[in-house]
């Protein structure tokens, strides 16, 4: 089952008010929302990201760096969640969590 369209719709609906305000404030601009998603366990769909970066007119040589930074931020976010969970379950300090993991 493919949920990409459903998640896009949810993200678009969530930020609809902001987009409307921006369009009203700058009617001469083209305002469009572009969503970059992380899948289960931090997986990303490279083709989807590269297509969106191309739509944003990002220079081709910068795509790989942007993808790498995106994946790193996702991994850091998951790391924070896992450390927090581990700490809550085991009641250890952050230093103990880092050493154990």
pLDDT in tens, 21-63: 999 999 999 988 888 877 766 567 788 888 999 999 999 899 9
pLDDT score, position 42: 58
pLDDT score, position 27: 93
Using CB atoms within 10 A of its CB, is residue 42 exposed (0-12), middle (13-18) or buried (19+)? middle
pLDDT score, position 1: 36
CA distances from 96 to 77, 84, 85, 89, 92 (A): 19, 12, 13, 13, 6
Cα–chain center distance at 23:
23
Res. 2: pLDDT tops 60:
no
Q: Tokens 């910068």 sit at which residue?
A: 62
User: Per residue in 70-98, pLDDT tens?
Assistant: 888 888 988 999 999 989 888 866 555 55
What is the spatial distance between Cα 8 and Cα 50, in angstroms, rounded to a whole number? 16
Instruction: Map out the domains of the chain as residue ranges.
Output: 1-35, 39-101
User: Per residue in 5-26, pLDDT tens?
Assistant: 567 788 778 888 899 999 999 9
pLDDT score, position 8: 75
């Amino acid at each position: 089952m493919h949920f990409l369209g459903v998640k896009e719709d949810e993200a678009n609906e969530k930020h609809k008010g902001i987009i409307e305000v921006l369009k009203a404030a700058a009617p001469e601009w083209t305002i469009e929302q572009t969503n970059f998603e992380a899948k289960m366990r931090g997986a990303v769909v490279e083709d989807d990201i590269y297509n969106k970066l191309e739509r944003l007119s990002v220079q081709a040589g910068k795509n790989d760096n942007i993808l790498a930074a995106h994946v790193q931020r996702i991994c850091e976010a998951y790391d924070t969640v896992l450390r927090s969970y581990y700490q809550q379950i085991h009641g250890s300090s952050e230093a103990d969590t880092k050493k154990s993991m």
